[in-house]
A and B are shown apart, each in its own frame.
Chain A
């Protein structure tokens, strides 16, 4: 994967498949400590201990179309390449949380990339799921969630192209605002 936002898009699909109703995606950055934590939390069906130990193994997958599952292994590799790590907590019937930790000043750190695109894709394609996106940079926070947007939109669908374009700009501009240190 060329950017972490693609790993997030991919790993969040697992939460969609697990029939989650709520999926939280949180990126927390500390630019002084050069750290980034990416957390993907869902209230889907969860995994038992056996599945949980197998999920980091590339040759484990629940899909039937082929025998390899690379989503989590690729995300784990991206984190470990920077000296970071990936952990998964899961309880059957409660949900799953995937947490990846990165050292952003490491030469092998893959850029975060186009997070707005990832979030808009997830929200527009799965309007039945409440996505909560939170981005924190040095304590400054921006968040957006499906419920708030749908409350404004009423019966206009999130996947209406003009709405998707607005949402992309909305996320980008607000992210930019918390990136820059106010003078």
Chain B
């Protein structure tokens, strides 16, 4: 069974990884809407997928955070991606599969997935 002693070893490993990081790289923020509307629409599996994929691909310059309701509940789960120096991209009606595609196309390769954005939905 997992114990707190194990956490100490894990801490040391994480610490070594953190110092290896280049602090000068600007950070990309992934923000998931987690109010009642978002949670009920399935925001938690979406957020989990982002965290998993980002770790799996070793994207150390990306952070995942959560926010409340932004007023477009019918389009939840909503995810906003903000890259330094670029305009915010708002993804709507997200699911774990779409999250993986956003990580690969947008976060890794720098091409936003236009089909999933709020702009594509409202047309």
CA distance A63 to B68 in the complex (A): 9
Q: How many residues on the B side are at the interface (Cβ–Cβ under 8 A)?
A: 34
Among B4, B7, B48, B54, max chain A CB count under 10 A is at: B7
Interface residues of B in 78-95 (CB under 8 A from A): none
Shortest beta-carbon distance, A55 to chain B, in Å? 13
Q: How many residues on the A side are at the interface (Cβ–Cβ under 8 A)?
A: 35
B 1-29 to A, binary, CB cutoff 8 A, 1 in contact else 0:
11010111011011100100000000000
Cβ contact within 8 Å between A1 and B40: yes
Question: Is A121 part of the binding interface, using a Cβ–Cβ cutoff of 8 Å?
Answer: yes
- The B interface, classified by DSSP as helix, strand, loop or mixed, is helix
Shortest beta-carbon distance, B46 to chain A, in Å? 12
18 examples of A-B residue contacts, CB within 8 angstroms: A10-B35, A10-B36, A10-B39, A74-B40, A121-B34, A121-B66, A149-B7, A152-B4, A152-B7, A153-B11, A154-B11, A154-B15, A160-B14, A162-B13, A166-B6, A166-B10, A173-B1, A177-B1
Query: Known contacts A9-B34, A156-B15; can you find 5 more A-B pairs with CB under 8 A?
Result: A9-B39, A74-B40, A121-B34, A170-B7, A174-B2
